[in-house]
Each structure stands twice: as C-alpha cells, then as structure tokens.
C-alpha cells in the first residue's frame, strides 16, 4: 500500500481555473505538509498541519488554501491559477521529524 | 533565504567510484537529514544526523556534520548506476513546527 498518495499525478489547466490536489497518508502521522518544487528543483515548504490544525503558512498567496478534514488527509485548493503556479507539488507526512513524500503532482498552467 | 546550499550542483562519476556531496546551512539545527529523489518521483529519506553527532553510517552512506562550520557531507561509496538521482540535505531546527528546510540539491550521475 502506498504510504503517502496524492492525486492527480499530472494536471494541465488553463489560467484562471480553480483546481484541487488531494493527499492521503496511511502512516498514522500527525503532521502533514505541502511543498512546491520549481523547475530548478528548489523545494520550498508551503504549509504544515498538525492534527488538522495549520502550523506553518509560508507567505503563500491566499489563492492557495489547504484543507485537512482529518489527520490522514491534506488537500490543496488553488484558485485563479497563474502561469507561475506551474511546478511539482509534493505532499508529505512526518514522524519524529522524518518526512515521507508522495510521488508529486505536476501542475502545468497554460 | 533560509535555504541551504549544496555543492556541487551536478556530479558525474563512474560506477565503483565514491561520490561526495556537501551541504551548508545558515541557522542552528536540531538535526540534518539527507534525501534522495529519482527523476519524476518523490523524495526518499536516507539518513538523519543529530546536532550532537559528528558522523553516521548507513550501508554505503557516510554522513558527517560540522555544526561549527554549519556544514555536512554525504559520501556514497562504491557507487552504482542505480544511485543516479538528485540528493538533498534538509535541516530541522526542532521545536513545534517540524519544518524542514531543503538545500538546492546535487544531481548525481553514475555512468555504468
């Protein structure tokens, strides 16, 4: 069974659209994250949730809204997509500081 | 920027050779971790070294940490073509946030 799974794996959409990426972990971890990896492979944290509560919000535009319905799920909704949002988005969960990553969602805004 | 720096940015070696990657960071840390990313995949945790440790081994991996210089190195011995990937260091300052700050990564290519 996949430990951290996110869907979809690929997402191609037009500017101005709204899209969501879903993430689920079956590891029983309390902490989940969203990271953004740009074309130069820089990996930057966006959000962190601990037991459904927002812990970190790293100056991400408010077009990005995470939602955690329970501690096993952390979804990312993006409004009014822009070209600069194109990137690979990774969900992760952690236990004792070690992160487990999903396979990534490659978002392409055209 | 809090992001750490890694060097080299890219490294190409022959199978059987050793590969060394370096990581420098800017703040005090609780621990430092190394992750591997194969092309098109998520990151996979390799090894964690705590701030009070100087060296750690795991299989063909050897990690060192020098907190006075705010630097770490990852050595992969007897490299294999399957080691081809990007390698990232990540620092954890501890505390309640469990926030990992990733370095810029080293792309390692091991030629068969």
| pLDDT tens by residue, B27-75 | 899 999 999 999 999 999 999 999 999 999 999 999 999 999 999 999 9
Which residues are CB-contacts of B2 (< 8 A; sequence separation ≥ 6)? B26, B27, B101
Which residues are CB-contacts of B29 (< 8 A; sequence separation ≥ 6)? B51, B67, B91, B92, B93, B94
Quickly name the fold that domain B5-111 has: Immunoglobulin-like (2.60.40)
* Domain-wise residue ranges, chain B: 5-111
Cα–Cα distance, B27 to B14 (Å, whole number):
35
Residue B92 dihedral angles phi and psi, to the nearest 5°: -125, 120
| Residue found by looking up tokens 């969203």 in the block | A34
Domain containing A75 equals 4-109
Cα–Cα distance, B100 to A34 (Å, whole number):
11
Q: A104–B101: do the CB atoms touch at under 8 Å? A: no
For chain B, say whether A5 makes contact (Cβ under 8 Å): no
* CATH at A10: 2.60.40.10
Question: In chain B, what is the greatest distance between 2 CA atoms, to the nearest angstrom?
Answer: 44
* pLDDT value for B96: 67
| pLDDT tens by residue, A55-106 | 888 878 999 999 999 999 999 999 999 999 999 999 999 988 899 999 999 9
Mean pLDDT estimate for chain B: 93
Cα–Cα distance, A68 to A79 (Å, whole number):
17
* pLDDT value for A66: 94
* pLDDT value for A79: 97
pLDDT top residue among A59 and B22: B22
- Name every chain A residue with its beta carbon within 8 A of the beta carbon of B43: 43, 90, 92, 99, 101
Contact A109, A11 (CB under 8 A): no
Q: Which two tokens stand for residue B49?
A: 């070294």
For chain B, say whether A104 makes contact (Cβ under 8 Å): yes
Structurally, how many domains does chain A consist of?
1
Q: A101–B43: do the CB atoms touch at under 8 Å? A: yes
């Amino acid at each position: 069974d996949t430990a951290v799974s996110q869907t979809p794996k690929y997402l191609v959409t037009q500017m101005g659209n709204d899209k969501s990426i879903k993430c689920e972990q079956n590891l029983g971890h309390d902490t989940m994250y969203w990271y953004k990896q740009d074309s130069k492979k820089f990996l930057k944290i966006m959000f962190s949730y601990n037991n459904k509560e927002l812990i970190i919000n790293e100056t991400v535009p408010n077009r990005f809204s995470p939602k955690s319905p329970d501690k096993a799920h952390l979804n990312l909704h993006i409004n009014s997509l822009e070209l600069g949002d194109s990137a690979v988005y990774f969900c992760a969960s952690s236990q004792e500081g070690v992160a487990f990553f999903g396979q990534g969602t490659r978002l392409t805004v055209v | 920027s809090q992001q750490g720096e890694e060097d080299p940015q890219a490294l190409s070696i022959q199978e059987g050779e050793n590969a060394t990657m370096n990581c420098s960071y800017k703040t005090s840390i609780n621990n430092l971790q190394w992750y591997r990313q194969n092309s098109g995949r998520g990151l996979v945790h390799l090894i964690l070294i705590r701030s009070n440790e100087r060296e750690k081994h795991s299989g063909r991996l050897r990690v060192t940490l020098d907190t006075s210089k705010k630097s770490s190195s990852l050595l992969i011995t007897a490299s294999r073509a399957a080691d081809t990937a990007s390698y990232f260091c990540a620092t954890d300052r501890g505390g309640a946030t469990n926030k990992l700050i990733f370095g810029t990564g080293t792309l390692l290519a091991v030629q068969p």
